[in-house]
């Protein structure tokens, strides 16, 4: 038995829903506090992570305003001997080396896996260097980009490690992409993934994003003052931290830093909304500039231009505004002027591969009954599609219990045995 599974069997013997003892029953607390803390004993504090920056065959030239982002970045945590490899997919906008990704790296390394970590297609480094369209949001196309990147990464590392089997694990948007990658691989057969584990996936990307947009639901004439102040506070808190592990301003770094604070429920909702809004702002700004859309930014951006002014210039734009103001006009030019919003949104749903997901025993899904990004129809889809390959925990918010000991044990058991335990 691998190292971590041995630890779990010592601490956990008889499990059921009745004694699922995850401590945070408030979904907002879970989302912030749970997802930013490793709630497992005995995990290695350091792993042999190697960072890479590669030029992908389809990458276009990077303008001087994005000089800091040249090269597609990923990481490898290698075992010393032949082992299975987990491709680890980040959540919405997060980077390959974010705090949560590092927790997963340590868990999987201890469990005997090589780990390759890949940023979200909505992360700025991915948009600039990895996206074939540089306009993310069509999840099938984004997943094809990830798949092609996986192939390039595998070429790069194949002489450094020996791989017995390939696995995919993703959380949040990365979980949704994991299911689609499995679908793509069924025809391309590049990896023949042995198992795929989806943690808190979005079912309808657009609707899930709107839920998080609405956590900061201020009138447009009040947005700059109220959201601007919140974003400034978040950025100041991250920048003022001198701790070396905080290398980027992303959702996970924000949660980690603010989890030390005592917050009211309203403050927690604003923090969740503010963290997601930073991703939306980034998405609006970068796609506008890099594709020369001139929706927000009409003059050239200099190498050392202060960024907060552009946050204000795009009025702290939402994900909904990204879709309607930037992505939809772009895809109308590419796919036809009569393309409607509903048609674009339809392309960002798991339902498009429902038949495949229903019949693929290699895929398992876990989520939470108090999930922030799902509605009743999403839960019904997951239940009817995955059946006994779906496990719904009673608490956890959005990704808040990923690093709780029970959840990690069940994840590792599925990857090893192909069976999803329901005895929690």
CATH number assigned to the domain comprising residue 55: 3.40.50.1820
Q: How many domains does the chain have?
A: 2
DSSP H/E element including 269: helix 265-290
The three-point CA angle 123-126-129 to 5° equals: 145
- Examine the domain organization and report whether 271 and 172 are in the same domain: no
In a domain, 311, yes or no: yes
pLDDT of 397 strictly over 80? yes
Same domain for 288 and 398, yes or no, is: no
Question: How confident is the model over 328-387, as pLDDT tens digits?
Answer: 999 999 998 899 999 999 999 999 999 999 999 999 999 999 999 999 999 999 999 999
pLDDT tens by residue, 171-189: 999 999 999 999 999 999 9
pLDDT of residue 6: 43
Q: What is the pLDDT of residue 156?
A: 96
Q: What percentage of the chain has pLDDT greater than the value 70?
A: 90
Tell whether 61 and 165 lie within a shared domain. yes
Q: Which two tokens stand for residue 139?
A: 């999840």
pLDDT, tens digit (0-9, with 9 covering 90-100), for 282-294: 899 999 999 999 9
The answer to whether residue 379 sits within a structural domain is: yes
Predicted confidence (pLDDT) at residue 210 exceeds the cutoff of 80: yes
Does some domain include residue 301?
yes
Across 405-423, b (16+ Cβ under 10 Å) vs e yields: bbbbbbbbebbbeeebeee
* CB distance 317 to 305 below 8 Å: no
Last residue of a domain, one of 322, 345, 368: 345
More confident residue, 42 or 254: 42
For residue 226, being part of any structural domain is answered with yes
In a domain, 394, yes or no: yes
Whether 224 and 372 share a structural domain: no
Kindly tell me if the per-residue pLDDT of 63 is higher than 90: no
What's the token pair of residue 215? 């956590």
326-to-135, 224, 285, 378 alpha-carbon distances in Å: 9, 20, 10, 27
The residues, any chain, with a CB within 8 Å of residue 18's CB and separated by 6 or more, are none
Query: Does one domain contain both 236 and 336?
Result: yes
Domain contains 21: yes
> Do 97 and 50 fall within a single domain?
yes
Closest CA to 175 of 153, 203, 149: 203
Q: Which ranges of 158-204 would DSSP assign to H, the alpha helix? A: 173-188
Check if the beta carbon of residue 92 is closer than 8 Å to that of residue 122.
yes
Residue 64's pLDDT is: 77
Q: Is the per-residue pLDDT at 393 higher than 90?
A: yes
Asked whether residue 423 is assigned to any structural domain, the reply reads no
* Of 345, 361, 377, the domain-final residue: 345
Based on the fold, state whether residues 389 and 260 are members of the same structural domain: no
Question: 144 lies in which domain range?
Answer: 3-205+349-417
pLDDT of the residue at 307: 66
Q: Is the pLDDT of residue 14 over 50?
A: no
**Do the domain assignments include residue 92?**
yes
Q: Does the pLDDT at position 91 exceed 70?
A: yes
Domain boundary among the residues 345, 373, 394 is at 345
């Amino acid at each position: 038995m691998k190292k971590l599974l041995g630890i779990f069997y010592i601490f956990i013997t008889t499990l059921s829903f009745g004694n699922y003892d995850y401590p945070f029953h408030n979904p907002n607390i879970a989302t912030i506090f749970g997802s930013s803390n490793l709630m497992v004993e005995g995990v290695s504090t350091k792993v042999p992570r190697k960072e890479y920056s590669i030029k992908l065959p389809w990458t276009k030239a990077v303008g001087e305003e994005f000089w800091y982002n040249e090269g597609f970045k990923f990481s490898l945590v290698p075992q010393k001997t032949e082992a299975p490899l987990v491709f680890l997919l980040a959540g919405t906008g997060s980077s390959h080396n974010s705090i949560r990704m590092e927790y997963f790296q340590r868990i999987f390394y201890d469990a005997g896996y090589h780990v390759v970590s890949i940023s979200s297609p909505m992360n700025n480094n991915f948009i600039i260097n990895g996206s074939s369209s540089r306009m993310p949001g069509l999840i099938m196309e984004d997943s094809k980009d990830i798949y092609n990147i996986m192939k390039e990464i595998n070429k790069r590392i194949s002489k450094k490690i020996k791989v017995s089997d390939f696995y995919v694990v993703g959380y949040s948007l990365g979980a949704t992409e994991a299911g689609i990658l499995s679908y793509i691989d069924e025809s391309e057969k590049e990896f023949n993934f042995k198992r795929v584990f989806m943690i808190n996936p979005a079912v309808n990307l657009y609707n899930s994003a709107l839920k998080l947009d609405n956590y900061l639901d201020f009138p447009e004439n009040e947005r700059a003052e109220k959201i601007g102040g919140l974003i400034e506070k978040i950025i100041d808190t991250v920048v003022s931290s001198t701790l070396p592990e905080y290398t980027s301003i992303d959702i996970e770094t924000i949660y980690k830093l603010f989890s030390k604070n005592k917050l009211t429920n309203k403050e927690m909702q604003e923090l969740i909304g503010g963290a997601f809004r930073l991703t939306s702002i980034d998405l609006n700004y970068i796609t506008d500039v890099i594709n020369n859309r001139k929706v927000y930014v009409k003059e050239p951006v200099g190498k050392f231009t202060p960024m907060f002014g552009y946050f204000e210039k795009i009025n702290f734009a939402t994900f909904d505004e990204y879709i309607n103001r930037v992505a939809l006009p772009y895809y109308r030019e590419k796919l036809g002027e009569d393309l409607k919003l509903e048609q674009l949104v339809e392309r960002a749903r798991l339902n498009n591969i429902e038949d495949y997901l229903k019949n693929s025993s290699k895929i398992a899904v876990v989520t939470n009954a108090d999930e922030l990004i799902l509605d009743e129809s999403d839960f019904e889809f997951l239940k009817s599609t995955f059946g006994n390959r779906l496990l719904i925990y009673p608490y956890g918010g959005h990704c808040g219990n990923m690093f709780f000991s029970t959840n990690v044990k069940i994840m590792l058991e599925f990857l090893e045995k192909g069976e999803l335990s329901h005895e929690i």
